[in-house]
A and B are shown apart, each in its own frame.
Chain A
Amino acid sequence: MQDDFIICRCEEISLHEIEDAINNGAITLDEIKKTTRGGMGLCQGRICNTLIIQLLASKGYDPKGSTPLHSRPPARPVKIQEYLGETADE
């Protein structure tokens, strides 16, 4: 794979940026996200996390053994006005 291959399409983070982060001690999805912004974009890692897990595994790390990304709503982008519609909670 080429160095400038884009791993995270939303934030345009390349393979070598992710590899640099791993070489500098970021060894979980969350740590890589905080170092590179990979997984921080519109899709929230739905595309790139699989690739990053493969990269971590190929370097001998067990990404599943460490803390996974903390998933919180929304599951996909939601317009602010949708949040403000009528609800029964108030």
Chain B
Amino acid sequence: MSRIFADAVVIGGGVIGTAIMYYLSKSGMKPVLVEEKNLNAGASGSCDEGIILQSKNSGIMLNMVTKSADLYKNLPKELEYDIGYRNVGGMILINEEKYVPVIKNFVEKQNDQGLNISMLDYSATHNNQPGLAKNVIASAYNKDDCSVYPFKLTLGYIQAAQKLGSKFLPHNKVIKISTEQGKITKVITNEHEIFTPIVINSAGYSADIIGKMLEIEIPVFPVKGHLIITEQIPFVINHQIMDAKFIVAKHQPQLLGQDSIASKLHIGLTLSQAPTGNLIIGGCRENAGYDTNTTFTTVRNILKNAVDFFPFFNNISVIRTFAGLRPTTPDSLPILCSTKVSGFYVATGLGGDGVSLSPIVGKMMSELVMTGTCDIVDMRQLSLDRFKSPSSHQ
């Protein structure tokens, strides 16, 4: 077992851990990132590529994603790496009259907070995205939605951080975190003994296991999502696409009905076409523990919904299905904070928004670690303290 000294140890090689590693390195620290497997082993390796602003709730999430999208614009240049960033624009498709007022209302709130979303009527919608079914009656379009290739994103962060003198240790599982008088002193992995005053726990849906090592309870749990990859086809999908059900589910779930299998699986279309030509079709939300197998019923329901919007998909072949686990919290807001153990920080619970939010989370956490506070975004409501029972709150 070799001994290493590090300014900080970041745990977890997903988009969040690697972003934090990069922004810490940029601020002058030399962190070590430890990862049990290798890059993108969890949620960041089984997700789509959307940086969607218009799906976020107004308030702190929209505030964060707007700042994140700004950081992304310059990120390929800054990292000197092709992270597959594309400003493709995003569309929310509406195929039932009853969803129109919900989406209009949602768009209004978001435009109040600075977004620039337009409501498109029938012909504008069909001009903007050919191939749609006739029953798609309207859409909301945001030209600022974009996409990024997550496998290249983590590599970009890692290589830029390495150039600044930081270290990446794949295949290093954290076994123990030691403290002395309430302060972090070292992290022990299967290969190394790393002396450090700072640990950032960005282990995604496994962040609770790391928390337990210091008797800190982190209420994060996996929410399963299926994705379907098709063969490569000529370019037909021009944007990041979602259907109105995703937004309606957040605001007026009673409109969706509860009885069908599709509503139990929270089926709603997410769709994009990768630069390679493959379609990436989702999506759903299931509480299914840590199982990442795909099921025929879910795949079939996702495809059925996709074909409702794009009838020509019928003749395209599926080449792969996979499922990933999103690290989710009881109130669906991320956990980004310091803790009662001096030097121990938590950055998890990004749900399905890790890719959208990685640069801003990296920047916020690095500022929190370096200065003790964060001026970019008010992080107080993202603290672990919010989960304390009311009796212990006073």
> Cβ of A27: which chain B residues have Cβ within 8 Å of it?
38, 171
* Residue of B168, B276, B297, B319 with most chain A CB atoms under a 10 A cut-off: B319
Q: Is A26 an interface residue (CB 8 A)?
A: yes
Q: Is A3 an interface residue (CB 8 A)?
A: no
Residues of chain B having any CB pair with chain A under 8 Å: 37-40, 45, 151, 155, 168, 170-171, 230-232, 261, 276, 292-294, 296-297, 299-300, 303-304, 306-307, 313-323
Q: Is A65 an interface residue (CB 8 A)?
A: no
Nearest-CB distance from A56 to chain B (Å)? 14
Whether A73 and B296, one on each chain, are in contact in the complex, defined by CB atoms closer than 8 angstroms, is yes
Is chain A's binding surface mostly helix, strand, loop or mixed?
loop
Docked pose: A39 CA to B25 CA in angstroms: 33
Q: How large is the interface on A (under 10, 10 to 19, 20 to 34, 35 or more residues)?
A: 20 to 34
> Cβ of A60: which chain B residues have Cβ within 8 Å of it?
none
Nearest to A32 among chain B residues (CB) is B38
Docked pose: A56 CA to B54 CA in angstroms: 44
Contacts A34-B39, A84-B307 given; indicate if A73 touches B321 (C-beta within 8 A): yes
> Cβ of A31: which chain B residues have Cβ within 8 Å of it?
37-39, 170
**Chain A, 62-75, contact with B by CB distance < 8 Å: what is the 0/1 string?**
00000100101110
Segment 23-45 of A: residues with Cβ below 8 Å from B? 25-28, 31, 34-35, 37, 40-42, 44
Contacts A34-B39, A80-B307 given; indicate if A72 touches B320 (C-beta within 8 A): yes
Pick the contact of B261 from A40, A73, A79, A90 — CB < 8 Å?
A90
Q: Is A58 an interface residue (CB 8 A)?
A: no
Residues of chain A having any CB pair with chain B under 8 Å: 11, 25-28, 31, 34-35, 37, 40-42, 44, 67, 70, 72-74, 77-81, 83-84, 87, 89-90
Nearest to A36 among chain B residues (CB) is B151
Whether A74 and B315, one on each chain, are in contact in the complex, defined by CB atoms closer than 8 angstroms, is no
Docked pose: A90 CA to B265 CA in angstroms: 13
Nearest-CB distance from A53 to chain B (Å)? 17
Contacts A25-B170, A34-B39, A34-B151 given; indicate if A87 touches B300 (C-beta within 8 A): yes
Can you list 25 pairs linking A and B with CB atoms under 8 Å apart? Answer: A11-B276, A27-B38, A31-B39, A31-B170, A34-B45, A34-B151, A37-B276, A42-B231, A70-B292, A70-B322, A72-B321, A72-B322, A72-B323, A78-B317, A79-B316, A79-B317, A79-B318, A80-B230, A80-B303, A80-B317, A83-B303, A83-B304, A84-B303, A84-B314, A87-B296
